[in-house]
Structure formats: structure tokens, C-alpha cells
Amino acid sequence: MVGGGEGAFIGGVHRMAARLDGHWDLVAGNFQSDPEKSVAFGLGLGLAPDRAYADFRTMAASEAKRADRIDAASIVTPNSTHHAIAREFLNAGIPVICDKPMTTTLRHAQDLADVAARTGLPFILTHNYSGYPMARQARAMVEAGELGAIRVVQAEYAQDWLAKELPGNKQADWRSDPARAGPGGALGDIATHAFQLAEFVTGLKAETIAADLAAFVPGRRIDDNVNVMLRFNGGAKGMLWASQVATGSVNGLKLRVFGDKGGLEWAQETPETLLFTPLGEQQRILRRGGAGVSASATHATRVPGGHPEGYLEGFAQIYTDAAELIRAHQEKREPNAFAKLAPRVEDGVRGVAFIEAAIASSKADGAWTGLAA
């Protein structure tokens, strides 16, 4: 693991998620930019002294030489550092599991895609929300044609934790600093999740978007509210709203998809169910572990329905799928088909292309702007 030291939020999440299904052990890491603190933090986690690294370059080089080298490097640092770190590990021959957004520029994103292609190494992006069983169920239903031709896509991701200034909050701090978070605020942090989920579920690609970004909190340097209209290949239209100032919202990622034969709705805060309505029929509540659920959703399931799985389980699924992808790569075999649902470097490129297009469109007063990847 690179990142995830003292005061970090997502590092601890990655560690729990990796642990849950028993496929990963944390054996090496560089957790903070301060070398001494990083080593101390690693020792505190029980790492062997020679694997509690002071910097990521040494870690990549040292691990590459070990017989018992790490199977993957999990990168959970602020966005602006992903590119250099991921590049280092890929070039050292080590697969990468990287947090999103993948990079802060499309150029960097494409560069990582190129390096991943050149090295042939697995590169998994933790768009964790696509690890939820019922998000995969939604995708399976669209794929199976149960919704017919998709017409309308409504995606949203509403939070309120940045509705006022949070001086001294480490999370708020780096996420609203363009130097570390990249040019997008809510755009990079959460709109990319909504965007990835929309494309993941529908199998469509947004071709052009029209965006109106805003920074409502006084003094905020990057957007905290994102309004986007989308046009997908095949003619579907959509809207995407992401906000960190939506007072009363907690972590409201929600997707609705409407086709000419049926419509569905899934919300991250109630992830166990999915609403589905075949046109002209009664609405149905599909439940994880329940009747009529796809093999791909079952693949992502641990306990029976009614025993709620949640965020950590969905996140764990990405790690579990990553384990399978990496094992298959090591064993030179085709991975389990469902493991391939884990987001990868291409999703990262799409996400950064979305960010850049949204910023460009907003600067051009909402002009429809194509995604450059």
C-alpha cells in the first residue's frame, strides 16, 4: 500500500476491504510522504521492518527484487500523485490497484493506460460502487435486454460534508486543493463515481456533455456542485448531478435508467435492493440474494439476503476481483468472467476525460463538449 497513513480515511477502508474476503495480506507499504512517519506507521501495522518503506520508489525497487514480492501495489494517495506512483510500480513489474480519479490530467491517464498495455499488467481502479451486487445486477439486466433500448439515464451523487468550510479537516483540505485533488472538486471526487456507474450499468458511452460547475462555499477554489447534461451513443440522454453542498445528503449516489421496455433504480445508501419496472407491469423489488438475481450479482455476494451487505463488502469485491485478475495473470489463464467486471485502467481514462470535458464545457458556458477518450 502506498498512502493511507495517519489521518487518512480511505487507506483504512482499503485495508478492511482487502482483508474481508481473505485474499490479501498487507505485507509492505509506504504510508505517508514523511519518511519517518511512514516507517513508524508501517511498523505499527505489524509490517516487517524491511518492508515498512520510507518512500515509494524504494518500495517498488525493493519489492521487485524479492522472491516473496507483493502481488500488487494499492495506491491510496491524493490524486495528483497517482500517476507517478502507479507508473513506478508498473515499470517495476508490479500490478496496481489505484484509487480514483486515476490522475489529474488526461495526458497522465492515457500514459498509465499505455504503460499498463505495454507491461501487460493488471491495473484495477477502485470505483468501488460497481462492486455492489445490485449494481452488477442492474448491469446484467440492461445487458440481457430487460430494459430494452435505453432512453434516459439519471445519475446523482449528493453529499453535504463540504457545505461549509472545514478548516483543519485533513480530508476536506486536500480534496478541495487543486494542487492535490486535481482540477475537479466534487467533479473528481464523486461525479466520476456517478459517471462510471452510469456507463458501467448501461454499457453506453457518453459522447458529449454540457456542464455547469459551481463553487458555492466562499473561498472554495474548486467546484462543489456539478450539473451536467449528457448525450450517449445510441441516442440516450441523461443528467448527472453531483454536489458536496446538498444539505442533508450523506452519500447519496443514485442511478436511474429508463429503457423502452423497463426502468430501474438503485441507490448506494440502500444497496441491497433494486427497483425494476417492466413497462406496464407491477414494480418489483429485487433483493440481493433473492429471486431472479443474476449470476454476476451472486458472484459478489457473501451472506444471504436480508443480512445487509454494504460499503465494505462492495469495496471488498473490487479487491477480491483484483485478486482473481492478478492470480489469473500470474497463472497465465483467463480470469473468472465476473472478476472482469472490476473497473480497470480504461475506466480511469474515461473518468479523467469526463473531468476534463466537464471543465471545458463549463468554461465554454455549457457548450456541448466531446469526451476526448
Query: Within positions 72 to 131, which residues make up the interface with a copy of itself, using CB under 8 A?
Result: none
User: 272 CB contacts (<8 Å, ≥6 apart)?
Assistant: 134, 287, 288, 305, 308, 309
* Residue from 34, 205, 304, 330 binding a copy of itself (CB under 8 A): 304
Buried-exposed string 197-208: b where 16+ CB fall within 10 A, e elsewhere = bbbbbbebebee
Q: Which of 40, 84, 172, 214 binds a copy of itself (CB under 8 A)?
A: 214
CB of residue 105 vs a copy of itself: minimum separation in angstroms? 26
- Tell me which of 53, 195, 266, 311 binds a copy of itself, using CB under 8 A: 311
Shortest Å distance, C-beta 133 to a copy of itself: 12
Residue 34 binds to a copy of itself (criterion: CB under 8 A):
no
Binding test (CB under 8 A) with a copy of itself, winner from 69, 231, 299, 327: 231
Cell of 119: 507491461
307 binds a copy of itself (CB under 8 A): yes
CB of 260 to a copy of itself, least distance (A): 7
In whole angstroms, the minimum distance from the beta carbon of 277 to a copy of itself comes to 3
Q: Cα–Cα distances in Å, from 344 out to 97, 135, 263, 348, 354?
A: 9, 17, 27, 7, 16
Return the residues of window 312-371 that contact a copy of itself according to CB under 8 A.
312-313, 365-368
Indicate the residue among 93 and 308 with the shorter CB distance to a copy of itself.
Answer: 308
Judged by beta carbon, residue 21 or residue 111, the one nearer a copy of itself is 21
**Is residue 71 involved in binding a copy of itself (CB under 8 A)?**
no
* Residue selected from 64, 216, 328, 346 as contacting a copy of itself according to rule CB under 8 A: 216
Nearer to a copy of itself, 174 or 368 (CB): 368
Residue 20's SS3 state is helix
CB of 93 to a copy of itself, least distance (A): 27
Cross-sheet strand order for the sheet of 237-243: 273-278, 262-267, 252-259, 150-158, 237-243, 225-232, 206-214, 369-370
Q: Which is nearer to a copy of itself, 91 or 251 (CB)?
A: 251
Min dist CB 229 to a copy of itself, Å, is 5
Report how far residue 7's alpha carbon sits from residue 188's, in angstroms, rounded to the nearest whole number. 21
Q: Could you identify the residue written with the cell 521492518?
A: 49
Q: Site residues for a copy of itself, window 149-178 (CB under 8 A)?
A: 151-152, 154, 156, 159-160, 163-164
Nearer to a copy of itself, 22 or 93 (CB): 22
Q: Which of 51, 75, 53 is nearest to 2 (CA)?
A: 75
- Residue given cell 440492461 in the structure block: 142
Identity of the residue, 69 or 261, whose beta carbon is nearer to a copy of itself in the bound complex: 261
CB burial class (10 A; 0-12, 13-18, 19+) of residue 12? Answer: exposed
> Burial, 246: exposed, middle or buried (Cβ in 10 Å; 0-12, 13-18, 19+)?
buried
Q: Are 254 and 268 in contact (CB under 8 A)?
A: yes
Rounded Cα gap, residues 371 and 192, in angstroms: 13
In terms of DSSP bridges, do strands 237-243 and 225-232 run parallel, antiparallel, or are they unpaired? antiparallel
Which 258-297 positions form the footprint of a copy of itself (CB under 8 A)? 258-265, 268-272, 275-287, 290-292
Tell me which of 303, 330, 337, 363 binds a copy of itself, using CB under 8 A: 303
CA torsion, ordered 373, 251, 271, 18, to nearest 10 deg: 70
Which residues in the 49-68 window bind a copy of itself by CB under 8 A?
Answer: none
